[in-house]
Amino acid sequence: MTIRGYVQGVGFRYATAARARSRDVSGWVRNNADGTVEAVFEGDDNGVGLLVSWCGRGPSGARVDGVEVEWEPARGERSFSVL
């Protein structure tokens, strides 16, 4: 998914990683040069759904203006990384 708004410099990646790990969701999250945050989640439908929903709000200090979600087949991610 791609998250747009004031989402860099507010702890978005680390808050996302903490939530993903607590829900046993694998994948990664990174800042993009255009100011967006990009994330990939793999796990059970409930855990992934909760993360996608949370990313629509983000951590305190963030302002999410929009999200784009693209569903793909699982890639076999085994942990969660902040890139």
CATH of the domain at 8: 3.30.70.100
Average pLDDT, the chain: 96
Res 82: pLDDT? 97
Residue 82 lies in a domain: no
Res 75: pLDDT? 87
Active site residue 30: no
Residue 77 lies in a domain: no
Reported as a pLDDT band with limits 50, 70 and 90, residue 58 is very high
Give the chain's domain count. 1
Q: Which domain holds residue 54?
A: 2-71
Residue 80 lies in a domain: no
Residue 65 lies in a domain: yes
Active site residue 75: no
Is the pLDDT at 74 greater than 90? The verdict is no
Contact between residue 64 and residue 56 where contact means Cβ atoms under 8 Å apart: yes
Is the pLDDT at 25 greater than 90? The verdict is yes
Is the pLDDT at 30 greater than 90? The verdict is yes
| One-letter identity of residue 58 | G
Active-site pick, 30, 31, 32, 75: 31
Res 38: pLDDT? 98
How far is 50 from 5, CA to CA, in rounded Å?
20
Active-site pick, 4, 13, 30, 46: 13
